């Protein structure tokens, strides 16, 4: 029996390198990368198994980048969400943000909450955007939430339910650009995920390559700590 792929996660890496290799500013790579998010989300919404796709869009460490690049990313995110509402509605995609968005500008926070509200009843796919996200922070935040609720003993199910993500486990994690690390992304949720690293830079990533990766995922043996 082949593996079932319900929850997919993607570390989108390589926008800057893609742009500089072509003589463009790094920001051009981010713009191109946002188009790929749309294409991959549409593909996932049409896939018979995939229920969610989580994109690592902006980490808690990304604030260390040059101010002009961070400012551009904030404006690009707001523009992307504004333009994507029609796409979400057309393809029946629910949008959900995870991470500490309270550090964003008030207009951007309002835009994120508006898109979440407008798409909350869509059912073909949940597109999760990790924004100002760090997995260690998410886990600590979940534990503090449980403590504040008066929990004296905490089990795995409690933690899973207290996390921001609308699922408990990731089935397949993909990272583009040839880097082979997790970068503080969904550490709890990928405990038994299959990992796939591709040399393709994110702006060159296509649904055809994703389809090929999913095929390879189907051929793997997932043991979940057992013998078979």
Burial class (CB in 10 A: 0-12, 13-18, 19+), 2: exposed
Q: What is the mean pLDDT of residues 88-102?
A: 97
- Compute CA 137 distance to the chain's CA centroid, rounded to the nearest angstrom: 16
Q: Cβ atoms within 10 A of the Cβ of 190, count?
A: 19
The string of pLDDT tens digits covering residues 46-66 is 999 999 999 999 999 999 989
The string of pLDDT tens digits covering residues 5-38 is 999 999 999 999 999 999 999 999 999 999 999 9
pTM of the model: 0.94
Q: Note whether 76 and 30 are within 8 A (CB).
A: yes
The string of pLDDT tens digits covering residues 124-158 is 999 999 999 999 999 999 999 999 999 999 999 99
**Residue 7 bridge partners (DSSP):** 52
The string of pLDDT tens digits covering residues 155-205 is 999 999 999 998 889 999 999 999 999 999 999 999 999 999 999 999 999
Please confirm, yes or no, whether 62 is among the known catalytic residues. yes
pLDDT band at residue 2 using 50, 70 and 90 as cut-offs: confident
Check whether 1 has a pLDDT greater than 60.
no
Choosing from 13, 15, 132, 171, the catalytic residue is: 13
Q: Note whether 190 and 182 are within 8 A (CB).
A: yes
Q: What is the mean pLDDT of residues 81-97?
A: 96
Please confirm, yes or no, whether 132 is among the known catalytic residues. no
- pLDDT at residue 168, rounded to an integer: 80
**Best CATH choice for the domain 7-133+170-219 from the list 1.20.1070.10, 3.40.50.10860, 3.10.640.10, 3.40.1180.10:** 3.40.1180.10
Q: Is the dihedral of CA 81, 51, 186, 205 positive or negative?
A: negative
d(CA 33, CA 180): 19
Domain ranges of the chain: 7-133+170-219
Choosing from 3, 62, 122, 184, the catalytic residue is: 62
The string of pLDDT tens digits covering residues 207-227 is 999 999 999 999 988 776 655
């Amino acid at each position: 029996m082949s593996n079932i792929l319900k929850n997919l996660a993607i570390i989108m890496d390589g926008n800057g390198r893609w742009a500089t290799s072509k003589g463009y500013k790094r920001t051009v790579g981010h713009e191109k990368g946002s188009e790929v998010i749309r294409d991959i989300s549409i593909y996932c919404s049409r896939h018979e198994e995939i229920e969610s796709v989580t994109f690592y869009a902006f980490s808690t460490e990304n604030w260390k980048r040059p101010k002009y690049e961070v400012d551009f990313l904030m404006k690009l995110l707001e523009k992307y969400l504004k333009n994507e509402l029609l796409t979400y509605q057309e393809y029946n995609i629910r949008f959900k943000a995870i991470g500490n968005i309270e550090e964003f500008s008030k207009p951007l926070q309002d835009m994120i909450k508006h898109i979440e509200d407008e798409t909350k009843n869509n059912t073909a796919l949940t597109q999760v955007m990790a924004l100002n996200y760090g997995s260690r922070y998410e886990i600590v935040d979940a534990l503090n939430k449980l403590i504040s609720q008066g929990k004296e003993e905490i089990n795995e199910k409690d933690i899973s339910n207290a996390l921001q993500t609308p699922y408990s486990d990731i089935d397949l994690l993909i990272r583009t650009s040839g880097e082979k690390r997790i970068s503080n992304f969904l550490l709890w949720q990928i405990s038994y995920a299959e990992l796939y690293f591709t040399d393709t830079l994110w702006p060159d990533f296509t649904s055809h390559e994703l389809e090929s990766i999913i095929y390879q995922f189907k051929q793997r043996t997932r043991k979940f700590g057992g013998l078979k």
